[in-house]
Amino acid sequence: SDGAPALALGLEKGDSDIMRQPPRSPKEPVINRDMAIGIGVVGIVDAAAILTVFYLALQRFPGHLEAAQTMAFVTLCTSEMIRAFTARSEYHSVFSIGVFSNRWMVWAVGVSFLLVLMVVYVPFLRPFFDTVPLTAGDWLFMLPFFFASPIAMELLKVYFRKRSGHANETESLPPAFAAGPVRTPAGQASVAHEFRGPAMLRVLIPIDASRNCQVAVQHVIRQFMNNTAMEIHLLNVQLPFSRYVAGFVSRKTLHDYHRDQGEIALRPIRQMLNNFGIPYSSHIEMGERAKIITDTARRLHCDQIVMATARKNSLTRLVEDSVTNKVLELTTVPVEVIAGDAVSKFERYGIPAALAAALAALLVALD
């Protein structure tokens, strides 16, 4: 039940304040004090919840050992899958980082839960695991126990935050990296944001490595040709490493890496603007993408955010936790969304089909 979620944890973005934390001491053990406390508390709560379910199930079904074992098994698996969401950060609440912000975790937990349902409800699998089918009443009975260890972990995080003073803030790269020079056609550079003349339309274009960003820039170039009173800002947002990775790498090395990756993403966009002789300012920052885009637009007093996004259906956007949707929720700055490339047939049809199949299997199982 925890194999796929464990792999999904490896794709976690990492805490937004990772660069504010001091380097991990080389003498600190792999399982440090906080981790040991978490393992101990969660282990005790998990054991108590599962044994309680097992005992109460025996009281409900006297003489039916397999029913009690099945309910204990399902409680163990399901609580571990829910707790995987809380395990994504050692200090920050799952609600502050976004319950569904790691789409790989959503898929991993969904697949794992489907496997648990198969073990319980598919007839030819039940003999291998000594399980019996559960009723809707059994699931309602187990429901509170599913959340015992996740709630315990979230309460521990509150204690850890109060003790160590962790704040749920977004970290930016140092000023030397955050704002690049304004590029001119002649290759000269001036101080960032030093645009002169009449009031200009300030436009922020978030840039990543996708081709869709080039579509957004092409749109802005066409606008610039009609109105040169435009101040263009390019923003690349680098995702922070997990604290378990960043703790073993120096801060300077991390800064250099993020700066280099940002420069790589910005290079083709800069070339496009230089080809048309359009001045611009570039910025490389680090943190959660939607929040950084929103904060930067506010800090630079931008009049407009121009974003390009792949043409996806609503269901796919819901599962994938779209950055564009998040920006629209967070910002008060007008956002112009440009349609980019179409998604693959797998994303367009495969994701809805998979979700429909999972829902159908669940309905059949509960019938």
Question: Considering only CA atoms, which of 268, 341, 280 is closest in space to residue 308?
Answer: 341
- Helix 65-86 vs helix 33-60: crossing angle, to nearest 10: 150
Contact 324, 309 (CB under 8 A): yes
Spatial separation of the C-alpha atoms in residues 120 and 361, rounded to whole Å: 12
Structure tokens at 208: 């990543």
Superfamily holding 3-168 = Calcium-transporting ATPase, transmembrane domain (1.20.1110.10)
Domain parsing of the chain, residue ranges:
3-168, 175-348
Secondary structure in 3-state letters for 31-46 = CCHHHHHHHHHHHHHH
Local confidence pLDDT in tens for the 367 residues of the chain: 667 777 877 777 766 656 556 666 667 777 878 888 888 888 899 899 999 999 998 888 887 888 889 999 999 988 888 888 887 777 777 777 777 777 888 888 888 889 889 989 988 888 888 888 988 888 999 999 988 888 888 888 888 777 765 444 333 444 444 444 444 443 333 334 344 444 578 999 999 877 788 888 988 998 888 888 889 999 999 888 777 666 777 778 888 888 888 898 899 999 989 988 889 999 999 888 889 999 999 999 999 999 887 765 555 555 455 788 888 888 888 998 887 665 555 555 565 666 667 667 666 666 5
CATH 3.40.50.620: does it fit domain 175-348? Answer: yes
Phi and psi angles of residue 177, each rounded to the nearest 5 degrees, phi first: -95, -25
**Could you give the CA distance from residue 320 to residue 311 in angstroms, rounded to a whole number?**
13
